[in-house]
Structure 1
């Protein structure tokens, strides 16, 4: 797809008086010991803590109020399950087979409600248009015609949510339908989006709505008004506030994803020059960008299971230059670009330039099949976007390239394989 923390001691002290708990149950044959609990800040998963398997279950005690998206990640089997918190106990049962999650059973009321609404919305988007086409061929007074009308009525209906009982479910679905629905007649204006982001409560950051809202906001403004749109938004929010900084961080990442380097540079510079206290979300963005900026020494990485090398780390690889490419076997742009790198591989070797491919794959068979054609150094943790290097190297999309000198200093960050070959004078 082309360019789309540890628990503190004080939290441990309060864990005996948890606000709510998260309990995950699995079958006895699920071969996993560790589970990691994440909360959400904007579009970034934030590690809360890790627990060990006890009788095929994991129980997390959460010590404070939290309403929003959460995730459990099983690092050894690379499984994950997403759910919501209404600041009440969460209870989930996982049906598994061959160490893979086959089915998720939500046992608490809030997650069961949210799941039913999501399933209903999917049916409405996929099935309702098809039924509308079929209906044209049947008269309303026939048995099948009546059945079609009945089913279309059910799918067209809205799901009623008690805001006082399930405030996050109400918040998420109401605002998703208002601002992000595929219904073109309901498209929100920029002013409506700005007002919502400005006045919304803390559930905005934990809802997963913020990133798509910002993309929608920029799309409504158009490609010729990006700076004006962004300046209007961040001036309204004030970049010295936590929300203003979180939004600024998200925008910098969006510009990175879509190769909008001019805008990324402008607003990254704005963030660097802030004199106020920086929140964790923006601090993380500044840190990851500084670590992978031109002139920086490429952050250390220890190979997981490397192929075509005896080196233990990237720094151990000796070459006049190194081309680092982050890719995936499911990435269509990688499918187009990496063969072009392959055709020049002999020329790269002649110049003592080494290629190192770091894959964000999850399927071992797909990864192994693909690298059989790539003679350069290959490595993968087989954890997809949960791979450790995704955060370390500020990777938002594949393929992403870096060119290093002999001392592992970043000397170029090409956007495409053609830029790589041109920089190395091989085009």
Structure 2
């Protein structure tokens, strides 16, 4: 019993040591009161907790060890701030103008360093080549020449390595970003597929929380070429093993990548693999399976409770009664929506005469832009005004706008058109 007690005490002490807080301060005129803290798993944001403002300050307590990307989202004003955790207290101050974030001040050491590193990388990529050319026209002993040399030296030195012992996540992120994603323009520095596979297999848990996984996988697929996608994926999954958490996270990311790029053949192949797994399924893969099953042909389209609907008295999607429904996910800033929705508008009266209802769910963030657009659309419209943070993005597996679904009178999916022309053709209105 004594040994068990001592072990429990050690674990409790470690738990207390691992805990850190995230503190966000905003000016008194910032309207939002609620904020949500997220961690990251691959490319998917994971909700940790929600906090209410106390004197325009939000304090989140994170009880576990975590190194990686985090974000705080303000749902009332649709503001987001991104930052990192190195398992130490995080302190952020916001500058607000017209209820939007104008500037972010990182007051803790790790985020201040990461912010400067990111800024330096952008300047090095965009400004340093121009300054180097300008330097040829100024003598080093002039005031401007001295200042120019100083800035060139400063920008050149910004790629200096970070001490991994002091800042493990920043070191991990910079090292692997530069190796796998930062040398695309230099063929001599490109890594081969075996190096990528080894990295994905041997990397520690910071891979999932770093935001690097999805772009590294895209780069890996591109390196194998369009003619050998199956070979590349099978080689990768064979090494990682889909029974492992890492293998299932990668499998989930690949399914989403194929979905986003409309590579249906590969999406269906590896979605089938995921469905047939007999082992324990991770939460990450389970969420991908769920969002895909929600929108399979013949599935009951999940109900959605409207927020601020127009052109209807119905309280939810199921509350709209019609022989058929056309659901369209769109945005006022989407160029394809700009060209497609007017064609739907031209045939709207004919659709309505056949008791076919159109329901638009918008991924807008700006109320004025959204309001101007829907003024021309006589069908049912609704929006959470949260963009890609909208709840229906994951529920309905949305990867692009516009996305269409056609439902029958019982809200079952009977067609998934790719374009507005397919919608009109289905109803013989083209």
TM-score (norm 1): 0.92
Q: Residue 209 in 1 paired to residue 189 in 2?
A: no
- What does residue 354 of structure 2 align with? 351
Task: String of CA shifts for 1:95-150, please: whole Å, max 9, x gaps.
Answer: 212322111111100000000000001111222233345456x2555735564444
Task: String of CA shifts for 1:181-225, please: whole Å, max 9, x gaps.
Answer: 154213222111111111100000000000111111111111111
Match of 1:334 among 331, 337, 343: 337
Task: String of CA shifts for 1:284-319, please: whole Å, max 9, x gaps.
Answer: 111111111111111010111111112111112122
State the alpha-carbon separation in 2 of the partners of residues 56 and 420 from structure 1.
48
Taking structure 1 as reference, are residues 133 and 369 closer, same or farther at Cα in structure 2, changes over 3 Å only?
farther
- What does residue 85 of structure 2 align with? 85
Q: Residue 312 in 1 paired to residue 315 in 2?
A: yes
Q: Residue 49 in 1 paired to residue 49 in 2?
A: yes
- What does residue 413 of structure 1 align with? 416
Pairs within 5 Å for 1:71-150 = 71-135=71-135, 138=137, 143=142, 144=144, 147-150=147-150
Listed as ranges, the gaps of 5+ residues in structure 2 are: 1-13
**3-state DSSP of counterpart to 1:184:** coil
36-45 or 23-32, which moves further after superposition?
A: 23-32
**3-state DSSP of counterpart to 1:104:** strand
Taking structure 1 as reference, are residues 234 and 169 closer, same or farther at Cα in structure 2, changes over 3 Å only?
same
Match of 1:261 among 264, 278, 288: 264
Task: String of CA shifts for 1:382-414, please: whole Å, max 9, x gaps.
Answer: 111111111211112211111111111011112
**3-state DSSP of counterpart to 1:325:** strand
State the alpha-carbon separation in 2 of the partners of residues 132 and 319 from structure 1.
66
Cα-Cα RMSD: 1.8
Contact kept, 8 Å, 2:15 with 2:64, in 1: the verdict is no
Count of aligned residue pairs for this structure pair: 413
- What does residue 362 of structure 1 align with? 365
- What does residue 236 of structure 1 align with? 239
302-311 or 115-124, which moves further after superposition?
A: 302-311
TM-score (norm 2): 0.92
State the alpha-carbon separation in 2 of the partners of residues 351 and 314 from structure 1.
19
State the alpha-carbon separation in 2 of the partners of residues 151 and 337 from structure 1.
49
Query: Greater relative contact order (Cα 8 A, min sep 6): structure 1 or 2?
Result: 1
Contact kept, 8 Å, 1:140 with 1:149, in 2: the verdict is no
What's the offset of the Cα at 1:421? 2.0
What's the offset of the Cα at 1:32? 2.1
**3-state DSSP of counterpart to 2:315:** coil
Contact kept, 8 Å, 2:408 with 2:414, in 1: the verdict is yes
Task: String of CA shifts for 1:59-85, please: whole Å, max 9, x gaps.
Answer: 111111100011111122221111100
Taking structure 1 as reference, are residues 342 and 130 closer, same or farther at Cα in structure 2, changes over 3 Å only?
farther
- What does residue 166 of structure 1 align with? 167
Contact kept, 8 Å, 1:18 with 1:61, in 2: the verdict is no
- What does residue 64 of structure 2 align with? 64
Taking structure 1 as reference, are residues 18 and 141 closer, same or farther at Cα in structure 2, changes over 3 Å only?
closer
Taking structure 1 as reference, are residues 129 and 425 closer, same or farther at Cα in structure 2, changes over 3 Å only?
farther
- What does residue 34 of structure 1 align with? 34
Contact kept, 8 Å, 2:21 with 2:59, in 1: the verdict is yes
Listed as ranges, the gaps of 5+ residues in structure 1 are: 1-13
- What does residue 3 of structure 1 align with? none
- What does residue 191 of structure 2 align with? 188
Contact kept, 8 Å, 2:140 with 2:149, in 1: the verdict is no
Taking structure 1 as reference, are residues 53 and 146 closer, same or farther at Cα in structure 2, changes over 3 Å only?
closer
Contact kept, 8 Å, 2:327 with 2:360, in 1: the verdict is yes
